[in-house]
Amino acid sequence: MLIEENILLSGFTTMQLGGSAKYFTRISSREVLLEALEFAKSKSFPYFILGGGSNTIVSDSGFSGLVIKIESSKIEILSEDSDSGLVTISAEAGVAWDEFVKFSIAQGFSGIECLSGIPGTVGATPIQNVGAYGQEVSETILSLVAVHPNGETKTFFKEECGFSYRNSKFKSGDLKDWIVISVLFQFSAKNPIQIKYPELQKAWESKLSLFSPSGQPKDRVHELQELREIVLSLRRKKSMVIDPIDPDSISAGSFFTNPILNSSQLQNFLERLQRMNLNFPSLFLEPIGRTKISAAWLIENAGFQKGYTVEGIGISKAHSLALVNRGGNTNQLLSLMNRIVSEVESKFGIHLEREPVLLG
Round to whole Å and give the CA distance between 168 and 180: 12
DSSP 29-76: SHHHHHHHHHHHHHHT--EEEESSSTTEEE-TT-EEEEEEEE----EE
Confirm whether 136 is domain-assigned.
yes
Q: Which residues of the chain have pLDDT under 50?
A: none
Confirm whether 229 is domain-assigned.
yes
Is 355 marked active-site?
yes
Confirm whether 90 is domain-assigned.
yes
Q: What is the pLDDT of residues 306-318, one digit of tens each?
A: 999 999 999 999 9
**What Cα–Cα distance (Å) separates residue 357 from each residue in 54, 58, 114, 255, 349?**
10, 8, 24, 10, 24
- The domain of 50 spans 4-70
Q: What is the CATH number of the domain that holds 225?
A: 3.30.465.10
The pLDDT assigned to 206 comes to: 82
Confirm whether 243 is domain-assigned.
no
The pLDDT assigned to 182 comes to: 98
The pLDDT assigned to 214 comes to: 52
The pLDDT assigned to 101 comes to: 98
- List the catalytic residue out of 90, 254, 316, 320: 254
- Residue count (the chain): 360
Domain count, the chain: 3
| Residues 44 and 129 occupy one common structural domain | no
Q: What is the pTM of this model?
A: 0.91
| Residues 135 and 273 occupy one common structural domain | no
- Of the candidates 70, 101, 123, which is a domain's last residue? 70
Is 254 marked active-site?
yes
- List the catalytic residue out of 104, 110, 113, 166: 166
